[in-house]
Amino acid sequence: MEYEIKSQSKITVGFAELWQFRELFYFFTWRDIKVKYKQTVLGFVWAILQPFLMMLIFSVFFGKALKVPSDNVPYPVFVFSGLLLWTVFSSGVSNAGNSMVSNANIIKKIYFPRLIIPFSSILVSLFDFLMALVVFVGILIYYQTNIDYTRMIIFLPCGLLIAIISTFGIGTFLAALNIKYRDFRYVIPFLIQVLMFLTPVIYPISILPKLWMKYIIAINPMYAAIELFRNGIIKKPLDLNLILISLFSAVLFLLIGVLYFRKTEAYFADLA
């Protein structure tokens, strides 16, 4: 085995190296999950409790009080299906965005492909997603929702995959920016809050009166993720144009995020 250490020449994703260090994905994720619920009385219940409480609050204010339409399913089912993926995105982006800075002590002392760090923090959010999915099944049963299983098996993973792509793209981009410009520490929570209202999580996109508004929403990569995910539960026509715009934006963010991350990663240790 012979290799060279020199200053960077071209930017690649470095799949071979990621594969070589694959066990680290597991260890970082495992560490974060363990640490997250250490010294808590409720432990993993928190992963379920958070989206569940959010759902209750939204159902009371938006479903009952404001009577937001919900595509012919009970509002709690509607909003929880959105919140499931939204939580993956919001916690994933904020964890990934801060991951490089919070792991600075490791980055400065040891080498491994840096992409493992933001990716592992997204895997932690996926773990929470799986826990919350159990609650979702409970809610579906409670409201006796009619489910077309083939539809579900096709659309749920599609939605999840797009959510992961979006989260990873934006998360790595912010992680790399954050290590250079610490301003992003403050930008990230604000960004997530704003994006929540620009994503049809608590309302269906059909309530938007003008077409151009829908197109603006579609630039948000999470639009496609949530829309497809919901399609596994709710039968309704999909606006393919909007979905494609959103998909394109998800892939674009992934490319920008990963390539920018790879371009700057060599100097992380000097900047952290």
Cα separation, 126 vs 92, whole angstroms: 8
**What is the nearest approach in angstroms of other proteins to the Cβ of residue 102?**
12
Asked if 130 is part of the footprint of other proteins (rule: CB under 8 A), the reply reads: no
Cβ 62 vs Cβ 203: under 8 Å:
yes
Nearer to other proteins, 35 or 60 (CB): 35
The footprint of other proteins on residues 15-34 (CB under 8 A) is 21, 23-24, 27, 31, 34
Counting beta carbons within 10 angstroms of the beta carbon of residue 210, is it exposed (0 to 12), middle (13 to 18) or buried (19 or more)? exposed
Cβ 228 vs Cβ 82: under 8 Å:
no
Q: Using the rule CB under 8 A, which residue among 45, 64, 108, 235 binds other proteins? A: 108
Q: Using the rule CB under 8 A, which residue among 41, 110, 130, 240 binds other proteins? A: 110
**What is the nearest approach in angstroms of other proteins to the Cβ of residue 26?**
8
Which long-range contacts does 4-11 make (Cβ < 8 Å, 24+ apart)? 7/266, 8/266, 11/259, 11/262, 11/263
Cβ 215 vs Cβ 240: under 8 Å:
no
Asked if 180 is part of the footprint of other proteins (rule: CB under 8 A), the reply reads: yes
Sequential DSSP letters for 218-265: HHSHHHHHHHHHHHTTS-----HHHHHHHHHHHHHHHHHHHHHHHHHG
Cα–Cα nearest to 141, from 188, 50, 80: 80
72-80, 144-152, 249-257, 262-270 -> range binding other proteins (CB under 8 A) = 262-270
Cβ 199 vs Cβ 226: under 8 Å:
yes
**What is the nearest approach in angstroms of other proteins to the Cβ of residue 14?**
12
Asked if 263 is part of the footprint of other proteins (rule: CB under 8 A), the reply reads: no
Q: Using the rule CB under 8 A, which residue among 19, 41, 67, 111 binds other proteins? A: 111
Nearer to other proteins, 166 or 178 (CB): 178
47-55, 124-132, 173-181, 211-219 -> range binding other proteins (CB under 8 A) = 173-181
1-9, 42-50, 207-215, 220-228 -> range binding other proteins (CB under 8 A) = 1-9
Asked if 106 is part of the footprint of other proteins (rule: CB under 8 A), the reply reads: yes
The footprint of other proteins on residues 232-251 (CB under 8 A) is none
Burial 98-122 (b: 16+ CB within 10 A, else e): bbbbebeeebeeeeebbbbbbbbbb
Q: Using the rule CB under 8 A, which residue among 68, 107, 122, 156 binds other proteins? A: 107
Q: Using the rule CB under 8 A, which residue among 2, 150, 209, 240 binds other proteins? A: 2
Asked if 146 is part of the footprint of other proteins (rule: CB under 8 A), the reply reads: no
Nearer to other proteins, 4 or 149 (CB): 4
Cβ 222 vs Cβ 199: under 8 Å:
yes
Cα separation, 27 vs 32, whole angstroms: 9
In the complex, the residues that contact other proteins under the rule CB under 8 A are 1-8, 21, 23-24, 27, 31, 34-35, 38-39, 105-112, 179-183, 266-267, 269-271
